[in-house]
Amino acid sequence: MEQSCTPELAEMRPAIRRFVTERLEPVALKIDATGEVPAAAREELHSQGYLGMRLPEALGGGGFDLSTYCLVVEEVARSHRIFTLMMDASSGLTPIAIARHGTPEQQQRYVPRLADGSWLASFGLTEPDAGSDAAALRTRAERREGGWVINGFKHYISGAHRADVVMVMALTDPAKRARGGITAFLVDKGTPGMSIDRTDKTIGSDPIQLSDIRFDGCFVPDDAVLGEVGQGFPIAMGSLVSGRMGVSAACIGTADRLLETAVDYAKTRTTFGQPLSDRQAIQWMLADSATELALARSLMYDTLRRIDAGEDPGTAPSMVKLYCSEMVGRVADRAVQILGGAGLIRGVPVERFYRDVRHYRVGEGSSEVQRMLIARALLK
């Protein structure tokens, strides 16, 4: 379905596919075997310029538009989800927010290091009572001479245990909350008063972990404020469009790999003297997956064209994220069913993809939140 993206992007796809197959896939197999992410992962992505793609060239980034970034994410997602998370850590919400809203000093301190992957960033918003309802957060930041003291607790923060800097959202005016009462702070690893309480493995691959962060009298100077005091909520929300499109691209790439694997297996596996591909039940599962994948690609790249052209996409990014994240779950389920026992064994990519894709219906706004946003716009 190359017609889903522009001819220029379509020309890039074969070279990216070769890189993913020849260079990333061996690393992915090592990750599956050890549960650890080797230094080679960052080195390989950095060698191709796939880290910091969305950051300004003047600050060490690639300066690429969202469509190009999503094409690369789509292809990289065919190998292992950890690679797309590494791309996001160097070119996602926190790095983009610093590049857009940071002071020159903040930009020079953080962006080049994030762009080349030598530093990792995390986004500290979610709390036990503030996930989908982000404005309900309780973490407080109170002004002191020369800075702010942060107290509170963050929950399920992706990659925080490895992060060199966390963008922390905290209440600075509880009466205003999302309407000017939330501020973004850049808190470096090792800052006294900030600690990782615990880190949990998830339903997905071992390296994909979520951490709890505790702030207990954590003092940060005034120059840790990102943007203006009270503007943290719009800063965070302003990066959600690109985040949702990146997740959608990862869903599409994963679904493409799963469908390809299922087709190959159906052609070679024989039951009762016939290949699986002769069975109508199998054919229909493959046909459904191919149709849904084609629709997802068309919807995503049409929305990307509008975004890169400067148009207001409205709720289209929510529609894309909703459809793609649920589509890849169905494709993964069919792939496991087609592979049978072979789809249940640890070490087989299909089994790992099946677990990893469950994240997509929760992160970057759950399916229920996307439906709420779409319906709200329709009923306005």
Rounded CA Rg of the chain: 21
351 is catalytic: no
Please say whether the beta carbons of 333 and 354 come within 8 A.
yes
- Specify the DSSP class assigned to residue 49: T
CB-count exposure of residue 40 (10 Å: 0-12, 13-18, 19+):
middle
Residue type, 235: I
Which one from 11, 142, 364, 368 is the annotated catalytic residue? 364
CA-CA distance, 132 to 169, in Å (whole number)?
14
CA-CA distance, 150 to 185, in Å (whole number)?
9
Strand, coil or helix: what is 220?
strand
Per DSSP, the residues of 118-175 read SS-EEEE--BTTBSSSGGG---EEEEETTEEEEEEEEEEEETTTT-SEEEEEEES-TT
Please give the biggest Cα pair distance in the chain: 80
Please say whether the beta carbons of 133 and 261 come within 8 A.
no
Please say whether the beta carbons of 94 and 122 come within 8 A.
yes
Which are the contacts of 370, defined by CB distance < 8 A and separation ≥ 6? 318, 319, 321, 322
Question: Which residues participate in catalysis according to the annotation?
Answer: 364
